[in-house]
Structure 1
């Protein structure tokens, strides 16, 4: 069973199908799509339902995990966080926050909670993350957490070449 992780201001919990409307609203913001590799624009509630339906099998495989980010005083989703891949003890971080929640330290707090739990309970030995080169907010979160810049690369996202920055840390 996927653990619930609590931090000072946040609760990281598995998504529920009842979160789909909120996910579609938050992830459906064009700003979110522009800063993520895998969230299309427009993003519908049907897409959110389908995405949430994949989480249990992903977790049970041990190869990835997805958490809803909520605040301690409310069960409403404010974003998503997880490891899009866990390979030989190294997690590849993926996250997004609803635009109204940017700049408040929620992303860094969520990352710290997730990584602390996975290091102590699951033997996580390292962390990788990428962000689009122009996404300075993600760069800040990744660097504040202590990941070191490795290199730039290019990937194709929705038919266009995008520059990404890669970061890593070993524990």
Structure 2
């Protein structure tokens, strides 16, 4: 069984989640602002929910269905959020990310997303990436633009029991020799 590697950027360490992260994940992801801007994080978000989610990450990686990382500060190891590429099928994966509110506006989401897209392109052999954001989520739109993923269309999808409009983006990744 292959061990999920740790990725390092200038300011961040992307590492596999551990069960010891449950409390911090619940605290950060449990902020109503996070739930309001993400498709899959309900409010309230409690530690047992984080535990179930974290337990599902290793099988997802080992079955090559996706990969998720804890986004941590390189200087302190402080957990700030998550970045993932999930639903890998037909050569495409779906990029997702969230950061705790105190970490917004510092370029961390872009830095983590860029590192993960580069890694998945090389190690999963992806031919492309999909990503979406809620129409009102301007911060996510900024991250996606910096990643140079072209806009495709708006769609209405059901999230947490409510129909929400999202902007959908998709790009082909460069071939790896």
Scaled to the shorter chain, the TM-score interval is over 0.9
1:91 to 58, 71, 93: 93
Separation in 2, partners of 1:159, 1:109: 32
5+ residue gaps, structure 2: none
For residues 125-144 of structure 1, the aligned pairs below 5 Å read: 125-144=127-146
Q: Does 1:31 align with 2:49?
A: no
Alpha-carbon distance, 1:15 to partner: 0.2
Separation in 2, partners of 1:54, 1:158: 19
5+ residue gaps, structure 1: none
Contact 2:130 2:169 in 1 (8 A): yes
Per mean C-alpha deviation after superposition, the further-off stretch among 80-89 and 128-137 is 80-89
Separation in 1, partners of 2:78, 2:48: 19
Residue equivalent to 1:66: 68
Residue equivalent to 1:110: 112
Separation in 1, partners of 2:122, 2:160: 37
Separation in 1, partners of 2:78, 2:19: 13
CA deviation digits over 1:101-149, x for unaligned, max 9? Answer: 0010000000111111222233222111011000010011011101000
C-alpha change, 1:119 and 1:159, in structure 2 (3 Å) is closer
- Over aligned residue pairs, what C-alpha RMSD do you find? 1.0
Separation in 1, partners of 2:31, 2:86: 21
TM-score, normalization: structure 1? 0.97
Contact 2:83 2:96 in 1 (8 A): yes
Separation in 2, partners of 1:45, 1:146: 35
